Homo-oligomer: A and B are copies of this chain.
Amino acid sequence: MSGDLSSTTRTKLHRLRERGSTDRADLYAVLDAGLVCHLGVVIDGSPVVLPTGYGRIGETLYLHGSSANRSLLSADGQQVCVTVTLLDGLVCARAVFHHSMNYRSAVIFGQARLVTADDERLAALHAVTEQLAPGQWAYARLPTRKELAATAVLALPLAEASVKGRSGGPKDDDEDYQTDIWAGVLPAALTFGAAEPDAKLTEGIEVPEHIRRLAGTTRGAAR
């Protein structure tokens, strides 16, 4: 399925309408580029926002945590909000007031469902692992039945969402363009360093190629 996501009261952006997008491809691009999402749940009437890993299979987002994570478990059957934010740069304008950030963000609303079927949980873990470090599912030891049981996976349909973002240079007031104040963008991106082997690694085991080649690259940088 492609095309617009459903627009509801929650996803109708009340400001900066020109920055809004409800295109499913844009949503997937943001989600697929991120590493961490922020899960919002309501507990005893108050909001709780927690960072967690995630993965996507088609039109479903899977969030991953320990089966002892009460916030994750408490979300089962509840309305949640999951937000993924990619920071692309600092926008330095001539005026303090016009300073901004370049970013892309996806905000997803929906009813979360705790995944109980082993095959769906395994598929979800696959997606979560590959989102984190592509190639590791085929490379590392796969989960045992016991490990699967100790993993909590939350599913969220990608049906109600909004995508926002800002790119490009600063927008200043007309009169400020005459000043001698510098203005521009300082690009920012999550960048990987060189892999650091575990201190307990058996001598002679090389960094696998799919990990080695990430060193010096950025994750989810704006195109």
- Residues in chain A within 8 A of chain B (CB atoms): 10, 14-16, 35-36, 38-43, 45-51, 53, 66, 68-70, 79-83, 85, 87, 89-90, 92-97, 99, 101, 103, 105, 107, 109, 125, 129, 132-133, 136-137, 139-144, 147, 150-151, 169-170, 176-202, 205-208, 211, 214-215, 218-219
Q: Which of B90, B136, B208 sits near A133, CB closer than 8 Å?
A: B90
Instruction: Find the residue from A70, A81, A125, A190 having the highest chain B CB count within 10 A.
Output: A81
Q: How far is the CB of A34 from the nearest CB of chain B, in Å?
A: 10
19 contacts between A and B (CB under 8 A): A10-B48, A15-B70, A35-B87, A36-B101, A48-B81, A48-B107, A49-B107, A50-B83, A51-B103, A97-B144, A97-B147, A141-B176, A169-B199, A182-B211, A184-B201, A185-B196, A187-B193, A187-B194, A187-B196
